[in-house]
Structure formats: structure tokens, C-alpha cells
Amino acid sequence: MNLTDQPHKSGYVALIGKPNAGKSTLMNHILGTKISITTHKPQTTRHQVVGIYSDDDTQVIFLDTPGVITPKYELQRAMMNTVERARADADVILFIFDPTDKFPTHEVIELLRTINKPIFLVVNKMDQASRSRAEAKVNELKEKLRFKEIHYVSALQGNGIDELLQSIRTQLIPGPPYYPKEDLSEHPVRFFVSELIREQVFLQFQEEIPYSCTVDVISYEADDDIDRISADIIVNRKSQKGILIGKKGAAIKELGIKSREAIEDFIGKKVFLDLHVKVREKWREQENWVRNMGY
């Protein structure tokens, strides 16, 4: 039977795992473009980011989720609610596991134990881990959870991804695509703009600053030759505003340059970006602020 004789299949696949396991890197590699922001710092992903993979006879809607943690404040509680929604929506769960991680995965295992859906164990970062060490870790996980399949991959280098996609396809039921085939995501451009600015905050600032900030796109005017964007960076405390602006405005200027370059690269045209820093005292702890910020 050739591929064209196969029924079209579609379905939802949730990527679940600890912070920094490589969920976003994996989804970006599958889609061939950067949909989820990625940094070396944990908890970079805060929203459920939807990525749409389509070929002639398949459409897979990937749900990239925040890393599973025990929440300490309202923003983190909202992030974990996102994980709950993804597991409810998904037809297949990918448990993304980092075999080089020295810390236990209790929270993820407890969550996955409550899911009655096919779970694929995706052992990532095999470009960094030895096979024997990874298999030893997998044997420990197999004592705690039942997996439909186990895949060893490198999201960074793309190893094992094609086989993973083929296996996902076997779990999906026949059905039409949910989205137009050319779509890569359901999020508006404004969402990606705010995420790309937030990514630069993660890359440029240390300690608690990235975890205390969010980005609010105030206005977006698209013209033929240039898009004009105004955005506020919201901080949790007054002292953080000075750090973000920097001496004589040097830090916010650098942040603006790098963010503008990332946005131009993403949308493929010139951008004028106007950034401001606003203080919303303890916004992360307050449910109404967290909700207002789109979490």
C-alpha cells in the first residue's frame, strides 16, 4: 500500500516532563521552525504552546507545556493548570526525559500515573548521555510507569525524531486535519512577539529577574514595510526596574536591540520596537494579575 492510500490521521500529543528536559527544543525540531522559546534556564515555557505538524496524510497538534513543578505562587499554579489541560486534551503523551538530570522526577511520575492514555518515554539529550547510563535510568522508570514505547532521541541534533513521528502516527485515529495544512500554530503574532522579548530577558538577566517578568504587547501596527510594536515589561518589584533599565539605559537598550532582531527574524520584515518597564507589585502572587497577563 502506498502512502496516498492510507487514511488521513490527526490528533493531539502533549509533551510533558521536568523543566529543561528539552520539550520545546523537540517540538521546534519537529516543526522545522522556532515556535517555543528555549533557553538554558528552567521554566522558560509558561504557556501551553501549540505547534502544528502536517504532512500529506497526518496532522499532529503538539502541546508544549511548562515543566512539571510543585507550584509556589500563583503564576506557577497557572502554569501547572496548563499541564493539566494538555493531558486532558491529548491522545498521546510524550514523557520527555533527560537522562543527564541528577534530580528525581517524582512530580512528573505522580502526574503520569493518573493518566490512562498511551505514554511514550522519549529519552532526550542522547548526544550528551551514554547509552548504558540512559538505559539504566529507563529501567528505573519502567518499575514506576508503563510505557507504550520507548524512544532514544537527540532533539538538538534530530536523531531518532523520524522514528518517533512514525510511532506517534500509529496511535492516531483516522480523521481530517483540525487546522489548515500551512499553519504552524494557532497563536497570534502578538503572542510570539511577547515570548521572543521574554526569551531575551531570560538570556540577558540573572537570578530572579526572568522569573519575575512578563511581557505585555500594548500595540502592534503592521505596515507594508515596517511593523511598529510597543510593549511593556512587567516586573514584580520596584528594585527590579532599575536592573532591567541598567546604567544610563544600557540594559534596556541591549534588550531592545536583541528582541527586535529576534522578532524581525521571526516575522521576516523590519520592526520598530518601543519597550517600557512597568512595576506591578507582586503580580506573580495575585490571581487577577496572573490572569490579566494571559496565564
How many CA atoms does the CB half-sphere of 23 hold within 13 Å?
33
Which triple of cell numbers denotes residue 2? 502506498
The annotation status of 18 as a binding-site residue, yes or no, is yes
The Cα 197–Cα 185 span in angstroms is 18
The annotation status of 265 as a binding-site residue, yes or no, is no
The annotation status of 155 as a binding-site residue, yes or no, is no
Q: Which helix (H) or strand (E) holds 217?
A: strand 214-222
The annotation status of 125 as a binding-site residue, yes or no, is yes
The annotation status of 27 as a binding-site residue, yes or no, is no
DSSP state of 90: -
The Cα 135–Cα 149 span in angstroms is 14
Which triple of cell numbers denotes residue 190? 502578538
The annotation status of 9 as a binding-site residue, yes or no, is no
The annotation status of 20 as a binding-site residue, yes or no, is yes
The annotation status of 124 as a binding-site residue, yes or no, is yes
The annotation status of 127 as a binding-site residue, yes or no, is yes
The annotation status of 247 as a binding-site residue, yes or no, is no
What lies within 8 Å, CB to CB, of 51 at 6+ separation is 27, 28, 30, 31, 35, 36, 61, 62, 64, 184, 185
The annotation status of 68 as a binding-site residue, yes or no, is yes
The annotation status of 17 as a binding-site residue, yes or no, is yes
User: Can you tell me which residue has the cell 501596527?
Assistant: 221
What lies within 8 Å, CB to CB, of 89 at 6+ separation is 12, 14, 63
Closest CA to 294 of 243, 232, 249: 232
Pairing of strands 119-123, 226-235: unpaired
The annotation status of 24 as a binding-site residue, yes or no, is yes
The annotation status of 5 as a binding-site residue, yes or no, is no
Going by the annotation, the residues of the binding site for GTP are: 17-24, 64-68, 124-127
Going by the annotation, the residues of the binding site are: 17-24, 64-68, 124-127
